[in-house]
């Protein structure tokens, strides 16, 4: 089983959206038995909360299933997950410093590294600017590219 973790700040907007989108793509590809997905935040201020209303609207609009609640990343996550995927460079740096403190050498990817044609590597935080549909489009492009990368890297999944 390959484990993928999406990481943003509070785990109520971008990372649960990425988790739901990626889980849907994994299911459509028939890879539920091969790939597990989760999401976390680097900050503690929303722990236990459901996704924000804007993200919940995206779930409804795009018929995505999600029942998680916000949680903060832990050192054990760094060991458990094969793919650590941050939604922006600030959270990537946060996780990179956690990895260093734990003595773990593992890449921390940016989701948009896997997307073709995007001009940025940071998925903007819709909590502050409200552009949930734009964020969805970026997340969908990144998740699609990430799944293709995993399938290409792990040929036993194809």
Of all residues in the chain, the percent with pLDDT exceeding 90 is: 92
Higher-pLDDT residue of 158 and 39 is 39
Average pLDDT for the chain: 96
Find the mean pLDDT for residues 82-105: 98
Domain 2-157 has CATH 3.40.50.2300: yes
pLDDT digits (tens, 9 = 90+) for 129-143: 899 999 999 999 999
Of all residues in the chain, the percent with pLDDT exceeding 70 is: 99
pLDDT digits (tens, 9 = 90+) for 61-93: 999 999 999 999 999 999 999 999 999 999 999
Instruction: Supply the residues annotated as catalytic.
Output: 8, 14, 125
Find the mean pLDDT for residues 143-158: 90
Report the pLDDT value the prediction gives residue 151, as an integer from 0 to 100: 95
Higher-pLDDT residue of 74 and 158 is 74
**Position 158 pLDDT exceeds 70:** no
pLDDT digits (tens, 9 = 90+) for 111-131: 999 998 888 999 999 998 899
Higher-pLDDT residue of 155 and 120 is 120
Can you tell me the distance from the alpha carbon of 68 to that of 16, in angstroms, rounded to the nearest whole number? 8
Q: What is the 3-state secondary structure (H, E, C) of 16-84?
A: HHHHHHHHHHHHHCCCCCCEEEEEEECCCCCCCCCCCHHHHHHHHHCCCCCCCCCCECCHHHHHHCCEE
């Amino acid at each position: 089983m390959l484990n993928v973790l999406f990481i943003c700040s509070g785990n109520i907007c971008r990372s649960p959206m990425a988790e739901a989108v990626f889980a849907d793509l994994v299911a459509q590809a028939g890879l539920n038995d091969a790939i597990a997905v989760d999401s976390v935040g680097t900050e503690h201020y929303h722990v236990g909360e459901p996704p924000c209303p804007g993200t919940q609207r995206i779930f409804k609009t795009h018929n995505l299933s999600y029942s998680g609640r916000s949680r903060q990343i832990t050192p054990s996550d760094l060991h458990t997950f094969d793919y650590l995927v941050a939604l922006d460079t600030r959270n990537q740096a946060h996780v990179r410093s956690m990895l260093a403190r734990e003595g773990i050498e593992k890449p921390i990817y940016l989701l948009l590294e896997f997307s073709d044609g995007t001009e940025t590597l940071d998925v903007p935080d819709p909590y502050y600017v409200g552009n949930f549909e734009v964020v969805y489009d970026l997340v969908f492009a990144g998740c699609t590219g990430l799944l293709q990368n995993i399938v290409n890297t792990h040929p036993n999944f194809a």
